[in-house]
Amino acid sequence: MVGAHPRAVVVSSRDEVLARLRAARDAGGATAPEVPREYRRTGTAPPGSPEVVDRLTETLTDYKATVHRVADEDDVSATIADILESAGVTTFVAPPGLPARWLGEVTARVRPDEPPLSVAKLDAVDAVVTGAAVAIADTGTFVLDALAPDQGRRAISLVPDHHVCVVRAADVVSSVPEGVARLDPTHPLTFVSGPSATSDIELDRVEGVHGPRRLDVVLVGPSSAPE
Amino acid sequence: MTTDLGMPTVASDPYGHLRGSESFPVAARRSLADTQLRQNLGHATRTIRAKRAGVVAEVDDWEELRRAGEGVKADVMARLPELLVQFEEAVTARGGVVHWARDAVEANRIVVDLVRGTGVEEVVKVKSMATQETGLNEALGEAGIAALETDLAELIVQLSDDRPSHFLVPAIHRNRSEIRDIFLREMPDVDPELTDEPRLLAMAARAHLRRKFLSARVGISGANFAVADTGTISVVESEGNGRMCLTLPDTLITVMGVEKIVPTWSDLEVFLQLLPRSSTGERMNPYTSTWSGVTPGDGPQTFHVVLLDNGRSNVLASPDGRQALHCIRCSACLNVCPVYERAGGHAYGSVYPGPIGAVLTPQLTGIRGTDDVSASLPYASTLCGACFDACPVRIDIPHLLVQQRAAAVDAHTRPTTQDVAMRAAAAAMSSPGRFSLVERALKLGRLIGRSGRIRSVPGPGAAAWFGARDMPTPPAETFRQWWARTRGPSS
Ligand code: SF4
């Protein structure tokens, strides 16, 4: 392959690897096949519909997140206040752009991440409250965008042991393809599905390792069946 | 029988931990005698098979997703050099630095130099097959740098000075009470009252690693997917140790095989459905992180990615064999394999065990000659086909196994009678009808084997093949019959 060239003196690793790969690719076949995309790219119910919000509630609960349904955004702050109080939270971190109305009734002390808190300070707070970019009902997932003002840099939703995440119905989609399509891949993203867990002991899922061990999701929007 | 290994292989053997030190039958015989190991593996693989079957059944377009996954990967192989250059441009434009490594030795040297440049003596690692393959931890150790594995199973393996035996759960061969014993022995600060309750074991790992994470300055990761057009890398994990390593250090170094590329961001919509359901049997794993280069104000401000060849160009040159590079390391084929379930991951020698390892390893290293241990790997299979049915990207592993058996034979300098016999056996294995013939011959062997060992088996060239493996007398039932009876139709 390479190296046999009479004038080649020093070949960089990059050139050599690429030359090998080109030769190998040509030998093995360079015709790109048409990719069959017959799978579903839209979900069974439209984004934000009561059906997808109900399904998200089920899938989140199944993976040990606690879901709190509220009818509209006015009820968010009372719910967050309850969650933090019942968990005994005295201090929590919030991203700089968290809507102030979500915290109106909260009595625990908020530490805004502005200027950015040190890792030691993050480790000393009891909880974090964030929004979410999108949530996927089929899989029980919400996605945090580190550049969204109400979600904040990745460290703040990682180091504290208790995460409270507010998800708006309008941001809930049914399927993974719809979720992926709404995200900006140039931003740092974290897909979260339940509290931290491991399958490393006898291949069964156990909750609670290095990430937040407690996860509460406040889901804002109407449900299909009256409660 | 033709083989597709037309490309010259690399002359030296700087491959790291790909080639084992003994052949599969020799190593497997030892693990088969280990009852505890077989119980642990049997329990874990039964659990995961049931979980996987449940979540796959929820997805009504699963077959369409598999076909799309297969198609995307085939497309990547046909355009790999161009996609890698595109990826390099995107990462560079976003403040990352791209390195290229011909083999394991070079990859390790690059990483060691980068870590030395930071002046730290300890790095935190998130589980990565690529760095296991290159033996990075040993290379760092020689340079006086401690590499701390942070994935629970990797931690168990590292603390007990053991070797990984599974992609997803490297300590799958250990049960909970063995794990407790390892923690009690090796973790200085552990609670002496620790029980074997999984939740408490997980919490012990959390306490053990917490301070290390919070003070880490250099993190090292692998990659599950790398998006060519945006330079985005994705790491799929469960525990949050990955997020810790990817987020808190100042410097992040990612080592990835060149085949991890996908063309576009939207291709992840396929793989993020296929991978978690196939690997941990979850709708979605707890955490998936994605990032592109460096983002001011968030995460590591210095980012390097090392693109590793280490034999992958050998594999790419084979029109069929390159399918082995489609693997997304979900480990479903391990969990359904009757041979893996009994022999365990260590018997394969390579860091890539199980059915995919049996076809990937010999292609990566090439087969050097009659006594190359990699040559025995393609025989570590009954060709029952369960691996293909389970594979989320539809890799035709049984076909590749047969092809690699022929390649093993071709590696000899002079054909011997055994070669001819092995070839014939491989040919017989390639079609179900002929395979049944060999199986029937095996049953006949049970009738005639007096000493407990099969000396000769009637059938198409099977005699030398089985003779060489010193097979114990087979049970009255063949693997295939046993499989059909105990597993029913494929899960
Ligand atoms: S070969 Fe297929 S089933 Fe096996 S680990 Fe790779 S992707 Fe998974």
Instruction: Report the alpha-carbon angle A36-A39-A43, nearest 5.
Output: 150
Q: Is residue A70 part of a domain?
A: yes
C-alpha B105/C-alpha B16 separation (Å) is 7
Q: Is residue A35 part of a domain?
A: no
- Which parts of chain B register pLDDT below 70? 1-13, 369-371, 411-491
A38/B239 CB distance under 8 A: no
pLDDT in tens, B23-52: 777 777 777 777 777 888 888 888 889 999
Q: Which of A27, A180, A189 lies nearest to residue B266, judging by beta carbons?
A: A180
Interchain CB contact of A115 with B (< 8 Å)? no
Nearest by Cα to B324 from B354, B361, B274: B361
Q: Output the DSSP codes for B292-355.
A: ES-BTTBS-SEEEEEEE-TTHHHHHTSTTGGGGGG-----HHHHH-HHHHHH-GGGG-SSS-HH
C-alpha B172/C-alpha B335 separation (Å) is 11
B286/A27 CB distance under 8 A: no
Q: Is residue A114 part of a domain?
A: yes
Counting from 1 in the atom list of ligand 1, the atom nearest the Cα of B330 is 8
Interchain CB contact of A158 with B (< 8 Å)? yes
What is the SS3 assignment for B430?
A: coil
What sign results for the dihedral spanned by CA atoms A166, A168, A169, A172? negative
Q: State the pLDDT at residue A207.
A: 79
Q: State the pLDDT at residue B409.
A: 73
Give the chain B residue whose CA is nearest to the CA of A141. B284
B77/A153 CB distance under 8 A: no
C-alpha B160/C-alpha B173 separation (Å) is 12
Give the chain A residue whose CA is nearest to the CA of B310. A17
What is the SS3 assignment for B486?
A: helix
Nearest by Cα to A79 from A96, A67, A63: A67
In this structure, the strands spanning B287-292 and A189-192 are antiparallel
Residue appearing with tokens 């929004």: A131
Q: Is residue A44 part of a domain?
A: no
Q: State the pLDDT at residue B371.
A: 67
- Please give, rounded to a whole number of angstroms, the shortest distance from the CA of B25 to a CA of chain A: 26
Residue appearing with tokens 């005639």: B448
Rounded to the nearest whole angstrom, what is the distance from the C-alpha of residue B22 to the centroid of ligand 1? 24
Contacts 24+ apart (CB under 8 A), A59-64: A59/A137, A59/A138, A59/A139, A59/A140, A59/B283, A60/A140, A60/A194, A60/A217, A61/A140, A62/A140, A63/A140, A63/A193, A63/A194, A63/A195, A63/A197, A63/B282, A63/B283, A63/B286, A64/A194, A64/A195, A64/A197, A64/A207, A64/A215
A chain contacts of residue B159, beta-carbon cutoff 8 Å: none
Is the shortest distance between the CB of B441 and ligand 1 below 6 Å? no
In the 8-state DSSP scheme, what is residue B453? B
- Other beta carbons within 10 angstroms of residue A212's beta carbon come to 22
Show which of residues 70-89 on chain A sit within 8 Å of chain B, judged by CB atoms.
Answer: none
A140/B151 CB distance under 8 A: no
Give the chain B residue whose CA is nearest to the CA of A31. B78
C-alpha B124/C-alpha B103 separation (Å) is 23
Name which residue leads in pLDDT, B214 or A10.
B214
Q: State the pLDDT at residue B473.
A: 38
Q: State the pLDDT at residue B429.
A: 43
A28/B322 CB distance under 8 A: yes
Answer yes or no: are the C-beta atoms of B246 and B301 closer than 8 Å: no
Q: Which of A33, A197, A200 lies nearest to residue B71, judging by beta carbons?
A: A33
Nearest by Cα to B275 from B324, B320, B238: B238
Q: State the pLDDT at residue A195.
A: 87
Buried b (16+ CB within 10 A) or exposed e, A179-207: bbeebebbbbbbbbbbbbbbbbbbbbbbb
Q: State the pLDDT at residue B370.
A: 63
Range of the structural domain that residue A107 is part of: 50-220
- The two structure tokens encoding residue B258: 């060149």
Answer yes or no: are the C-beta atoms of B96 and B212 closer than 8 Å: no
A202/B175 CB distance under 8 A: yes
- ω into A115 cis (within 30 of 0): yes
- Please give, rounded to a whole number of angstroms, the shortest distance from the CA of A72 to a CA of chain B: 28
B432-448 and B462-469 helices, crossing angle to 10°:
60
**A166 backbone dihedrals φ, ψ, rounded to 5°:** -100, 125
Q: Output the DSSP codes for A1-50.
A: --S--TT-----HHHHHHHHHHHHHHHH--PPPPPP--S-SS-SS-TT-H
Q: Is residue A37 part of a domain?
A: no
A204/B198 CB distance under 8 A: yes
- Please give, rounded to a whole number of angstroms, the shortest distance from the CA of A112 to a CA of chain B: 15
C-alpha B71/C-alpha B270 separation (Å) is 11
Residue A215: beta bridge partners?
Answer: A163
C-alpha A196/C-alpha B238 separation (Å) is 6
CB-defined contacts A:B, below 8 A: 281
Rounded to the nearest whole angstrom, what is the distance from the C-alpha of residue A226 to the centroid of ligand 1? 45
Q: Which of A12, A205, A211 lies nearest to residue B240, judging by beta carbons?
A: A211
Residue B54 to residues A140, A202, B58, B238, B278, Cα–Cα distance (Å): 16, 18, 7, 19, 10
Give the chain A residue whose CA is nearest to the CA of B72. A35
Q: State the pLDDT at residue B27.
A: 75
- The two structure tokens encoding residue B49: 């098979």
Residue A123: beta bridge partners?
Answer: none
Rounded to the nearest whole angstrom, what is the distance from the C-alpha of residue B121 to the centroid of ligand 1? 36
Interchain CB contact of B339 with A (< 8 Å)? no
- Please give, rounded to a whole number of angstroms, the shortest distance from the CA of B83 to a CA of chain A: 11
In the 8-state DSSP scheme, what is residue B33? T
Residue A141: beta bridge partners?
Answer: A136
Buried b (16+ CB within 10 A) or exposed e, B98-110: bbbbbbbbbbbeb
Homologous superfamily, domain B70-313: NagB/RpiA/CoA transferase-like (3.40.50.10420)
Interchain CB contact of A105 with B (< 8 Å)? no
Show which of residues 11-70 on chain A sit within 8 Å of chain B, judged by CB atoms.
Answer: 12-14, 16-18, 20-25, 27-41, 59, 63
Give the chain B residue whose CA is nearest to the CA of A152. B298
pLDDT in tens, A153-197: 999 999 999 999 999 999 999 999 999 999 999 999 999 998 888
Domain count, chain A: 1
Residue B403 to residues A30, B372, B374, B391, Cα–Cα distance (Å): 21, 17, 14, 18
Instruction: Choose which residue among B322, B329, B335, B389 to substitute to test ligand 1 binding: the one with the highest number of ligand atoms within 8 A of its C-beta.
Output: B329
Q: Is residue A56 part of a domain?
A: yes
Counting from 1 in the atom list of ligand 1, the atom nearest the Cα of B334 is 4
- CA-based Rg of chain A, rounded to a whole angstrom? 23
Answer yes or no: are the C-beta atoms of A123 and B211 closer than 8 Å: no
What is the SS3 assignment for A154?
A: helix
Nearest by Cα to A211 from B361, B171, B30, B152: B152
Q: Is residue A76 part of a domain?
A: yes
Residue B342 to residues B38, B237, B379, B389, Cα–Cα distance (Å): 6, 27, 15, 20
